[in-house]
Structure 1
Amino acid sequence: MPNTMAQTPFQWLQELERRAKQKARGIPRQEKVQQIWRGIAFRVGNTPLVTPLNEIREILPYPTYLAKVPGAKAWVKGLANIRGLLLPIVDLQACLDGKATPIESRTRLVIINQAGISAGLVVDEVLGIKHFPEEAKDTDTPCKDAWLTPFAKGMFIEEDSIWTIFDMHALAESEVFLRASL
């Protein structure tokens, strides 16, 4: 071991680096890079859903005040001023399944801007961001919920849960969603 008192600071750092490299173990090699699918998880009724991150613009609490929309179907809850934009507020479950979403403390608005349509969708609960391995995506198994089938573009199975991938773009272009007037 060289005398550290006779070394310059640079030489001392070089010696320290050399010793560290001698003792260091190699980093384990990862043969395959795993692609990760990321989405927003939410619940409509008892059905857990996920939608890709890029299909959701914002998530907000249910608004206190809504302006009524005369001549609209019951699932159109009203209009809300969200950051200076008037957005229609749509009860997603009532629109697709005919069952109204009860407004509770966990009820959220999922703001979308798809196919040129901006709207706030009322969902029972937003569960956060979910990550799934891309190869775990199942696009072959049909959706068992008839009301959800036109908007399901696959699923992920995780332990005891089936997460249906909900296509917001398909929703925004669907006739059932666009025919909001009586």
Structure 2
Amino acid sequence: MANTLAQPPFQWLQELERRARQKARGLPRQEKIQQIWRGIAFRVGTVTLVSGLTEIREVMPVPTVMARVPGAKSWVRGLANVHGQLLPIIDLQACLESHVTILESPTRVLVINHAGINAGLLVDEVIGIKHFPEQHRDSEAICQDIWLAPYARGVFHYEDHTWVVFDLHRLAESDAFLKAAQ
């Protein structure tokens, strides 16, 4: 390199860039692009489920104040005022399996809004957002839990765990969910 004091600053920077490019290594190449599926994982009873991120509008704590709904089935836990709107709170496990969810500190409400149906689904615990490579999805797997089978859309076998893909849109359209009156 020539005397840097005699060079104008721009030429000095060009020479520096040229030398850096000679010594630089290329970035590693990714051979295959993976498709990633994103969802929110939650627990209902002893079963771990995951639903697509776009199916859940909000995750919130269980409302402390809920109005009783006369004439509703027992799995309709009540109506809550959430952000200025009345939201029916549905005990998901009681609706599908007839086991009442015990309210404990990890119990949460998944807020859904599908085809004009707004509801809060009471679940035992929200685990968090999960990212699964699509190649780990088994769309043909049959759910062993009969009460979940109509809403299961395959499973992800990932990190030594099986995650059942739960279709909340199908649930919101089902007769079991829509017929909340006694």
Aligned residue in 2 for 1:36: 36
* Structure 1: distance between partners of 2:38 and 2:62: 24
Aligned residue in 1 for 2:98: 98
Aligned-residue offset at 1:127: 0.7
Cα-to-partner distance string for 1:49-73 (whole Å, 9 max, x where unaligned): 0001000000000111001100011
TM-score, length of structure 1 as denominator length: 0.97
Q: Please tell me the residue identity of whatever aligns with 1:52.
A: G
* Structure 1: distance between partners of 2:132 and 2:62: 28
Aligned residue in 1 for 2:180: 180
Aligned residue in 2 for 1:160: 160
Structure 1 gaps of 5+ residues are none
Aligned residue in 2 for 1:142: 142
Aligned residue in 2 for 1:23: 23
Aligned residue in 1 for 2:48: 48
* Structure 1: distance between partners of 2:108 and 2:9: 59
1:73-92 map, 5 Å: 73-92=73-92
* Structure 2: distance between partners of 1:64 and 1:27: 53
Tell me the percent identity: 65
Runs of 4+ aligned structure 1 residues displaced above 3 Å come to none
Aligned residue in 1 for 2:68: 68
CA RMSD, Structure 1 to Structure 2 (Å)? 0.9
CA contact (8 A) 2:60 2:110 kept: yes
Tell me the SS of whatever aligns to 1:15. Answer: helix
Tell me the SS of whatever aligns to 2:138. Answer: coil
* Structure 2: distance between partners of 1:7 and 1:50: 63
Give the length in aligned residue pairs.
182
Aligned-residue offset at 1:107: 0.5
Aligned-residue offset at 1:9: 2.3
